[in-house]
Amino acid sequence: MATNVNAMAGSMQEEFATIIFKYSASPKDNDLGKLAHEFAALHNINLKPLKKTIQHVLELLNHAIQQSQPTSEFVEHLTHAGMDLAPAKLFATKWEHSRAQLLQRTHQVMLSSNKLVNLTWKVGITSATNLVPELGATYVQLRFELDSTTETIELSVESFYRFLANMEALQAHMHFLMG
In the predicted model, what is the mean pLDDT of residues 122-144? 79
Residue 4: the pLDDT is 82
Residue 86: the pLDDT is 94
pLDDT score of 30 more than 70: yes
pLDDT score of 139 more than 90: no
Sequence ranges of the domains in the chain? 3-111, 115-178
- Alpha-helical segments (H) within the chain: 3-6, 10-25, 32-43, 47-67, 71-80, 85-113, 157-178
Percent of the chain with pLDDT over 90: 32
In the predicted model, what is the mean pLDDT of residues 151-162? 86
pLDDT score of 153 more than 70: yes
Q: Check the CA dihedral 32-37-43-47 and report its sign.
A: positive
- CA 32/CA 24 separation, integer angstroms: 10
pLDDT score of 133 more than 80: no
**Residue range 58-68, pLDDT digits in tens:** 999 988 888 88
* Residue 66, helix vs strand vs coil: helix
Q: Name, in order, each residue with C-beta under 8 angstroms of 146's C-beta and a sequence gap of 6 or more.
A: 114, 115, 116, 117
Residue 103: the pLDDT is 82
Residue 142 forms beta bridges with which residues? Answer: 121, 153
Place 176 in a pLDDT band, splitting at 50, 70 and 90.
confident
Residue 158: the pLDDT is 87
